[in-house]
Structure 1
Amino acid sequence: MAVRPLRPPRFDVAVALAGLLGGLLLWGFGLGVRPGDDPMVLFGGRWALLVPLGVTAGCELLRRTAPRTALLTGTLALAADTTTQGSIATIVMFTDLMYAAVVYGSPATARRLPWITGVLTLAGMLVPYAVWRVPEALLIGLVVGALAFAPASTGLIVRNHRDAADAARLQAEQTALLAEMDRVQAVTAERSRMARELHDLVANHLSAIAIHSTAALSLDDPGTSKDALTVIRENSVQGLSEMRRLIGILRDGADDREPSATPTLDGLGALVAGARANGLDVTLDAGH
């Protein structure tokens, strides 16, 4: 569930002001839910309905910061509104408080309110009809359903869709995170492989250069020195070429060519020849 804001959002302030101004406009024109001579109107004064209207508008400020408190207070205000001529704005704002309590309230509140309002709707239809035995008694339950059950059910549907969207977004973020981790691991493994390959190739060529340079310096033989310098040059060129190739792989990020250090049967002869040129006594047994 999302963290509730500490202060009323601007939208809630706008809803509260719109409900209050709308109720005042209806009150100014003398429009109420019931006429002043209705037997249910206990407080028929012109100013009586402004109290529930103002309290309900104040509850709209708490529709997201304290939805359950707003609904309980709004219910008391609606009950008080039934003792006056009543205001349509108060009734409309109460339905919004019921909706907000399900959408922004706790999970327990979101589960219970549709059931509670549903039971009240059925009771509002069956009990009055059982007492008065007239079809008009069923209208009480319909009114309860329109004011309570309908907004609570709508809020539950909206909340379920929102939770499903949040779950899908979280799963997508986790999938993206796992994919990024796999990519990083693959890049790390590839860099480790290149580092090993670079070490093996350069170490091989540098070893050959060191051996033949030592031989060229220790032997006073022009032929031997020339052969040693030839091997040194070949290993230097090959080592530089391999280093450039691997650096190119690191810069470009991909290389379709097979690394020259990869042992294959086709390159076995060249590998043996290179080892012999480096001064090693290597033989190739074709039988194996």
Structure 2
Amino acid sequence: MTATRLPSRRTGVPRGARPHRHDGAIAAVGLGCGLVLWGIGLGMHGRQAPLPGAWVLLPLVVLAGTELLRRTAPRTALPVATAALVADQFTTGSVATVVMYTDVMYAAVLYGTPAAARRIPRITVLVTVATTVGFSAWLQTVESLLIGLATGLVTYAPASTGALVRNHRDAAEAARLRARQTALLAEIDRTQAVTAERARMARELHDVVAGHLSAIAIHSTAALSLDDAGTSRDALAVVRENSVAGLAEMRRLIGLLREGDGEREPAPAPTLEALDTLVEQARANGAAGGLGFTLTDRRRPPAAPGPGPGGALPAPVELAAYRIVQEALTNAVKHAAPGTVAVELGLTDHTLDVRVTSPFGDRPGPRAPGAGAGLVGMRERIALLNGVFEAGPVAADDGTGPVWVVRAVLPVGAGGAR
């Protein structure tokens, strides 16, 4: 197994990494140029230096070695290069040594730690000022200012350039990260939107189709099992009515799916004003099972037509309440024992209360199977509106037996409108 070098937390460079090929090329070029300058006898300090001759090659070779570490170990390269540059001042001097030192200074800021990138330019400013003041006090000549200028060019100039390049590089990396995060968030939003839309369409398909198909299944079973022409005719009439209504609901859903493509206008969503029709349809579907249906709407005071006391309800609340009643009536037609199914609506300044009560127990005759998807869909609808949903058997108020109660409390905002 090959060991993987982990990157340093501070520099991002793998620990123990080999010198970059570009760094090797820089070191080779710098060393070659220094050897050529030494070969032709071109120095910076003349032959009166304390260490003349081949001593100039020692700082040159050390600087070339630090060039190999400029990217992988800048914290080591800069102090060694600084010592070599100081030693070069006691030899005949080489321009190649000075140039390579400026590159090491630049790399120490660019590839070093963030703390070093902030600290090194400040130190070079202090070194430049101290050098200028010290030589001015010692030499007391105008030429001492040139020494300070040369010190700034060798130290501060490459350090500030490295800091500038590093800032631009960090800004570009931050922009890339932001773009990547934005794309990731957009993909998450798209996935969530698709999931939410699929769940919404699943609820709509179940609510608008399951009731009609359940009635068709129950009455077609009755028509096949009973040898009575009148009963079969009535059952087939209910089957036809539910088939037509189911097709109309399917067309409405198709219109919703095609909304925005310019082909057709989607049919309006049902509202609570259509509950009378919904209950009448349930009464026709449940008659064979001995079910009766009542509707008590307390949203508006007696002899006061129009919306409830708070004005028109929000469209999402109306649709959710209508679907809750529709699914509860469908479940009653499929599962309720003979008796009366009661639908009650109440409205306060802040909530709409929907309650559907049906007899709970065994029932004679054909039944349509259920998978529990209706209850899941009702809970999802109420959760999307931050409402409260309850469903289950409870004891009847009059003590006649258990009843199945579906109750939803939907917030409608201050005053019942928004």
- Relative contact order, CA 8 A, sep 6+: which one is greater? 1
Match of 1:84 in 2: 91
> Between Structure 1 and Structure 2, how many residues are aligned?
280
**How far off its partner does 1:86 sit?**
1.4
Distance 2:226 2:100 in 1: 104
Query: Partner letter of residue 99 of structure 1?
Result: Y
Q: Name which of 54, 58, 68 aligns with 1:61.
A: 68
Distance 1:55 1:245 in 2: 82
Distance 1:11 1:243 in 2: 68
Q: Name which of 149, 154, 160 aligns with 1:153.
A: 160
Structure 1, 97-106 or 187-196: larger mean CA deviation: 187-196
Structure 1, 269-278 or 159-168: larger mean CA deviation: 269-278
Query: Partner letter of residue 158 of structure 2?
Result: P
Q: Name which of 157, 182, 201 aligns with 2:208.
A: 201
Match of 1:3 in 2: 12
Q: Name which of 225, 234, 244 aligns with 2:232.
A: 225
**Structure with greater proportional helix content:** 1
**Which stretches in structure 2 are left out of the alignment for 5+ residues?**
1-9, 298-302, 307-418
Distance 1:130 1:254 in 2: 87
Does the aligned pair in 1 maintain the 2:19–2:72 contact within 8 Å? yes
Structure 1, 102-111 or 159-168: larger mean CA deviation: 159-168
**How far off its partner does 1:147 sit?**
0.5
Q: Name which of 56, 61, 65 aligns with 1:49.
A: 56
Distance 1:2 1:177 in 2: 27
Give the SS at the match of 1:30: coil
Give the SS at the match of 1:97: helix
Q: Name which of 137, 148, 170 aligns with 2:144.
A: 137
**How far off its partner does 1:236 sit?**
4.5
Give the SS at the match of 2:55: coil
Match of 2:324 in 1: none
Query: Partner letter of residue 43 of structure 2?
Result: G
Query: Partner letter of residue 58 of structure 1?
Result: G
Alpha carbons of structure 1 residues 264 and 126: separation in structure 2 relative to 1, 3 Å: same
Alpha carbons of structure 1 residues 22 and 201: separation in structure 2 relative to 1, 3 Å: same
Structure 1, 57-66 or 263-272: larger mean CA deviation: 263-272
Query: Partner letter of residue 19 of structure 1?
Result: G
Alpha carbons of structure 1 residues 98 and 270: separation in structure 2 relative to 1, 3 Å: same
Structure 1, 124-133 or 230-239: larger mean CA deviation: 230-239
1:1-288 matched pairs, under 5 angstroms: 3-5=12-14, 6-36=17-47, 38=48, 41-45=49-53, 47-236=54-243, 239=246, 255-256=259-260, 258=266, 262-264=269-271, 271=278, 274-279=281-286, 287=305
Cα distance per residue 1:133-188 (max 9 Å; x no partner): 21111111111101001111111111222222222332333333333322222222
**How well do the aligned residues superpose, as a CA RMSD in angstroms?**
3.0
Distance 1:51 1:161 in 2: 36
Distance 1:87 1:60 in 2: 16
**How far off its partner does 1:277 sit?**
4.4
Identity of aligned residues (%): 62
Give the SS at the match of 1:125: helix
Q: TM-score, normalised by structure 1?
A: 0.83
Does the aligned pair in 2 maintain the 1:124–1:138 contact within 8 Å? no
Distance 1:157 1:267 in 2: 70
Alpha carbons of structure 1 residues 13 and 54: separation in structure 2 relative to 1, 3 Å: same
**How far off its partner does 1:243 sit?**
6.5
Distance 1:2 1:244 in 2: 63
Does the aligned pair in 1 maintain the 2:255–2:266 contact within 8 Å? no
Does the aligned pair in 2 maintain the 1:33–1:85 contact within 8 Å? yes
**How far off its partner does 1:189 sit?**
1.7
**How far off its partner does 1:226 sit?**
3.3
Distance 2:216 2:137 in 1: 108
Match of 2:341 in 1: none
**Structure with greater proportional strand content:** 2
**How far off its partner does 1:202 sit?**
2.9
Does the aligned pair in 2 maintain the 1:20–1:53 contact within 8 Å? yes
Query: Partner letter of residue 44 of structure 1?
Result: P
Alpha carbons of structure 1 residues 254 and 13: separation in structure 2 relative to 1, 3 Å: farther
